[in-house]
A and B are shown apart, each in its own frame.
Chain A
């Protein structure tokens, strides 16, 4: 074992994967193509509320593509075609009677680059509850906003300036605002697409802490190409390479004792 994997080993979080009660989302044999290009094939994975799931792999391996299948954000790309089956609580999310608006409310998403709306901090968080009608009164809405910002660990920093623009916050604060925005809709699953890649180390640490706190309340899936991060925050890890899922299992297993030589090569830094 070389220096690299030693680092990863020491970075591994204290929390071990716990046994899944029932998977929140299941994917079976999912394939995605953009026009004539096959971006992803044969992916089968289970996601649960009890564990944070990390998708790792080199750039262009299909991990983000797969993530965007889980809340049907690929629908916004005209040429994208998704086959296979993805279920949320046992219901096929690509079934014709599945309402995509509802689906996305239940499966929230946080993007790579913080993308707060050019509105006030309050309005950013209140946006989701408003469109979905989740608050009965102004007081109710205030409560949701406060609760969400508290959960995102941002309340103490912004409680005195809720009317300021969300875009005026620092990068790390913006990303936590986006997480609060996602939480405010009361999702069941939160998808995070490299949520810390645009942030400095201190902001990254805060996001990682946050993810750990949110574990158990939401099924969390995080895409990252930072292996230490995957090791720190996740209990389950899926390794993608060249559009297919190479290995999926407990994070500790994957990082200390990978079954596949390709996984080992990637983790020990031979490529990526």
Chain B
């Protein structure tokens, strides 16, 4: 895509020129006799300029965007068609590998080609690409100029340039907000599409209910399926064990107690210092936690296990990963609990204190029960965050798919396996690689369900006290 940057720059240059021309024409309307009366010229000159500029830019950008997105495919098709009969790679994987080598050669990533045909194709590629680049460049310039000219001839004193420009701005706003929906659909579609291909190779029941996970056995395409190697239950268990059990055993009491202390007991000055410090815990990147868990916590946990006589303690343990993850989640649980407690009306607290309850009795017997839906919702959100967390488990929990409840053993999680499956050597159509998308789909659906449920619980709770 040589020179596409320059082409975009040229398009914007054209836009600026169009703006200047449109504005100049409108300035002339204003300067004309009677043009300075209110309402004589409907819009300010700059809107006339913007109108012409948009008419110039928009078509040019559409052409260039088409070139940017589809250009590779056009060039590839022509290069392939130009290859001598017989040396042309078969459509499918061969062709993809060939084209990627050609592109690598063109970009200069490879000094020399493995495939001699690719060497020639790379030269052809450069030539074809240049030809297309000139073609699209000229086309973009032409439509841009035409748009500008048409817009320019439409300018009159009573022309509603501002309304036109504002309509376009509105369109832009709508377009921007559609990106979120598009991303969501992109996630759902790509996960479903790849998972569907995976489930053609491995039955979905086996994936969801199988107890044995060892994707390494299925590296070759002819080995796929029915080997019993894609049972994801050990991964689901590991995920729940680390994220929803061990991490929560750490995070719920600590998060809840810090929230209680900070909201109910501490002086305002102390709270002002302690809260940001607590939030630093949430701001530390997960890779740092992972490193810390692997380097410091995991060996300590193993030594502790050995010292109390557990001989099969692993150096990568569910406990180490879960504990560190729990610490990471503390600020999250704390701030959710904080919100939930703050939503309990002060009259409840007063009512209890006025009967002679101590602050701790008030908190334990009135505030927490009253805030329970909010706290539970917050904990569910925390669980959803914990099971989606990746780096800590990749670095500290290990890759062994054990179905064990021993916290000193190594277990693996959905996220850790996704990373393991998609890094290193991979071929895109093997069941091994595709299984990562099936795992991703499960993870996405579970976290989505947890979030929607938790948010509705929290919302209902808030409304109850509003």
Contact = CB atoms under 8 A, between A and B. Distances in A.
Given A117-B370, A118-B369, A127-B365, A101 B348 contact: no
A178 interface: yes
Q: Which residue, A71, A78, A115, A132, has most C-beta atoms of chain B within 10 A?
A: A115
A16 B356 CA distance: 33
A57 B350 CA distance: 23
Nearest to A185: B355
A115 B348 contact: yes
B354 A104 contact: yes
A111 interface: yes
Interface string B348-376: 11111111111001000110011000000
B354 to A, nearest CB: 4
A117 B363 CA distance: 12
B356 A76 contact: no
Interface of A: 71, 73, 76, 78, 100-106, 108-109, 111, 113, 115-119, 127-128, 131-132, 178, 181-182, 185
A2 B71 CA distance: 94
Nearest to A103: B356
A113 B355 contact: no
Given A115-B345, A115-B347, A109 B366 contact: no
Contact of B365 (A71, A116, A131): A131
A185 B350 CA distance: 16
User: From DSSP, what is the main secondary structure of chain A's interface residues?
Assistant: helix
Classify the interface of chain B: helix, strand, loop or mixed.
Answer: helix
Nearest to A129: B355
B58 to A, nearest CB: 58
Contacts, number: 69
A185 B348 CA distance: 17
Contacts of B355: 104-105, 108-109, 127-128, 131, 181-182, 185
Contact of A111 (B347, B357, B365, B366): B347
Contact of B351 (A100, A105, A115): A115
Given A101-B358, A104-B353, A131-B355, A113 B347 contact: yes
A76 B357 contact: no
B19 to A, nearest CB: 59
A117 B353 contact: no
A71 B353 CA distance: 10
Contacts of B351: 111, 115-117, 178, 181
A193 B150 CA distance: 76
22 contacts: A76-B349, A100-B356, A101-B357, A104-B353, A104-B354, A105-B355, A106-B356, A109-B355, A111-B354, A115-B348, A117-B348, A117-B366, A118-B370, A119-B369, A127-B355, A127-B357, A128-B355, A131-B356, A131-B357, A131-B361, A178-B351, A181-B351
Interface in B180-207: none
A106 B354 CA distance: 10
B347 A105 contact: no
A178 B354 CA distance: 11
Contacts of B349: 76
A115 B356 contact: no
> 6 closest Cβ contacts across the A-B interface?
A105-B356, A104-B356, A115-B347, A109-B354, A115-B351, A128-B355
B311 to A, nearest CB: 49
Nearest to A105: B356
Given A101-B358, A104-B353, A105-B356, 8 more contacts: A105-B355, A108-B354, A111-B347, A115-B351, A117-B351, A117-B366, A119-B369, A181-B351
Nearest to A100: B356
A50 to B, nearest CB: 24
A78 B268 CA distance: 10
B350 A73 contact: yes
Contacts of A131: 355-358, 361, 365
Contacts of B354: 71, 73, 104, 108-109, 111, 182
B353 A76 contact: yes
B271 to A, nearest CB: 12
Contacts of B345: 115
A147 B356 CA distance: 20
A105 B352 CA distance: 10
Given A115-B345, A117-B366, A117-B370, A101 B356 contact: yes
A117 B352 contact: yes
Contacts of B347: 111, 113, 115
A225 B221 CA distance: 86
Contacts of B268: 78
A101 B369 CA distance: 21
A94 B392 CA distance: 54
Contacts of A78: 268
A115 B362 CA distance: 14
Contact of B350 (A115, A116, A119, A182): A115
A111 B352 contact: no
B268 to A, nearest CB: 8
A189 to B, nearest CB: 12
B376 to A, nearest CB: 14
Interface in B330-357: 345, 347-357
A128 B354 CA distance: 10
Nearest to B362: A131
A30 B242 CA distance: 59
Q: Max chain B CB contacts within 10 Å: which of A76, A101, A118?
A: A118
